[in-house]
Amino acid sequence: MNQLEFYVTQIEEQLKQNDFPIEPRNLYDPLRYFLNLGGKRIRPVLTLLGAELFEQDVIQAMPAAMAIEYFHNFSLIHDDIMDQAPLRRAKATIHTKWDANIAILSGDVLLVKAYQQLCKQNSKHLEDLLQVFNRTAIEVCEGQQMDMDFEQRNHITQQEYIEMIRLKTSVLLGCALEFGAIISNASLLDRARIYSFGMNLGIAFQIQDDLLDLYADSEKFGKQVGGDVISNKKTILLLKALELANETQKEAIYHAIGQKDPIAKVKAVTSQFDELGVKQAVLELRDYYFELGIKALQDIEIKESNKKNLFALIDFLKQREV
C-alpha cells in the first residue's frame, strides 16, 4: 500500500492548494470545508494509476485527477440535499451547516471547477477527456434519478438495479482510469479495457457493499448489520431473493419485511434469504463482474509490473471480507 498511500497524500496536498477565492465566502467556505472532510480519494488515485499503467509521469495527470475528485464531491453535495442526509463522514453536510441554497450553488460552482481543472491538461487531450467526462457526468445524473425513481416503485428487476449502480457509481471509476490512459496516449482499445476494468470492478464492489450490510462481521464492519433491511432499501439481495422465491416464499419475505422490531426483522429476513441461498447467488453475481474487470486488465498488453499498484488497490478494497 506504500505507493498508493503516497498518491493519496499527493491528492490531499493538491486539494489543500486549491485556488478557491475568499469571496463570496458563502460560496467557497462550504467547498473548502467539504473537500477537507477526508475520504479514501480512490477516484483521483485511479487517474494517477491509469497514467502509471501506461508509463506516463503521474504528475502530468494531476489536473484530471482533481477534476474527478471535484466532480465526485459535487455529486455528493447535491445528493446529500436530495437524500436529506444530515451527516457526511460524521460531519454536518453543507445544506445542514449552511442551507440548501448554498449547497446547490456551491455544488454548481464545483462542477464548473472540475471542468476548469480538466482544461489544464494538454490541449491535445482535451477533446477526448471532455467527451468521456461529459458522457460520464450525464450518466451519473441519470443513475441518481433512477435511484430516486426506484424508491417510488414496487417492482425493480436485477438488471435495472445493476444498471442504476453502474450509472450512479461505477462509470466514474472507469472514467477516472480512462483519463490516465488518455493522458498517456494509450490506444483506443486499451482505453476501452481500462475503462471496462474500472466500471466492472465498481459494480462488483457496489454489490459487495450490499452483501456487507447484512453479512459482514459486525465487529469488523463498524456499523449496524442489516441497516439496509431495516430501512427497506431495495438492494440486490432483496431483488435476488424475490427472483429465487416461489409464491409462498415471496409471501414469507414480505411478512419478514413487515416486522416492526428491527432485530426480529433482520433475523427474519436473513432467515428467508438463507433458505433461498441468496448470499451465495449474490456472491456469484459479484464475482461475475469482478472477473470481467480483472479480465479487461489482464488483456492490456503491458508489462505485468505496471499493473502491480492496480492489483494492490483491488486487494485493499477486497480486504473487507463478506
Q: State which residue, 115 or 221, has the beta carbon closest to its own copies.
A: 115
Q: State which residue, 137 or 182, has the beta carbon closest to its own copies.
A: 137
- 13 close to 69: Cβ distance less than 8 angstroms: no
Q: State which residue, 35 or 137, has the beta carbon closest to its own copies.
A: 137
Select the residue interacting with its own copies from 85, 92, 141, 281 (CB under 8 A): 141
Q: State which residue, 20 or 316, has the beta carbon closest to its own copies.
A: 20
Q: State which residue, 169 or 309, has the beta carbon closest to its own copies.
A: 169
Select the residue interacting with its own copies from 144, 170, 196, 235 (CB under 8 A): 144
Select the residue interacting with its own copies from 24, 38, 86, 258 (CB under 8 A): 24
Q: How far apart are CA 133 and CA 120, in angstroms?
A: 14
Distance of closest approach, residue 19 Cβ to its own copies, in angstroms: 11
The DSSP string of 51-70 is HHHTT--GGGGHHHHHHHHH
Select the residue interacting with its own copies from 9, 26, 187, 218 (CB under 8 A): 26
Among residues 29, 60, 65, the alpha carbon closest in space to that of 44 is found at: 65
55 backbone φψ class: left, alpha, beta (φ>0; ψ -120 to 50)? left
Is residue 115 part of the contact set for its own copies (CB under 8 A)? yes
Among residues 148, 282, 131, 149, the alpha carbon closest in space to that of 211 is found at: 282
Binding-residue total with its own copies (CB under 8 A): 35
Q: State which residue, 138 or 188, has the beta carbon closest to its own copies.
A: 138
- 37 close to 69: Cβ distance less than 8 angstroms: no
Q: How far apart are CA 50 and CA 174, in angstroms?
A: 10
Binding part of the chain for its own copies, among 52-60, 111-119, 253-261, 291-299 by CB under 8 A, reads 111-119
Is residue 265 part of the contact set for its own copies (CB under 8 A)? no
Is residue 145 part of the contact set for its own copies (CB under 8 A)? yes
Print the binding letters for residues 79-108 with its own copies: x by CB under 8 A, - otherwise.
Answer: --xx-----------------xxx-xx-xx
SS3 content of the chain, % helix, strand, coil (to 5): 80, 0, 20
Select the residue interacting with its own copies from 112, 263, 264, 302 (CB under 8 A): 112
The DSSP string of 118-151 is HTTS-HHHHHHHHHHHHHHHHHHHHHHHHHHHHH
Binding part of the chain for its own copies, among 1-9, 143-151, 273-281, 304-312 by CB under 8 A, reads 143-151
Is residue 3 part of the contact set for its own copies (CB under 8 A)? no
Distance of closest approach, residue 111 Cβ to its own copies, in angstroms: 6
Q: How far apart are CA 295 and CA 274, in angstroms?
A: 31
Element housing 190 (H / E): helix 188-215
Residue 88: beta bridge partners? 91
Binding part of the chain for its own copies, among 33-41, 142-150, 177-185, 209-217 by CB under 8 A, reads 142-150
89 backbone φψ class: left, alpha, beta (φ>0; ψ -120 to 50)? left
* Residue ranges that bind its own copies, judged by CB under 8 A: 24, 26-27, 78, 81-82, 100-102, 104-105, 107-109, 111-113, 115-116, 119, 123, 126-127, 130-131, 134, 137-138, 141-142, 144-146, 148-149
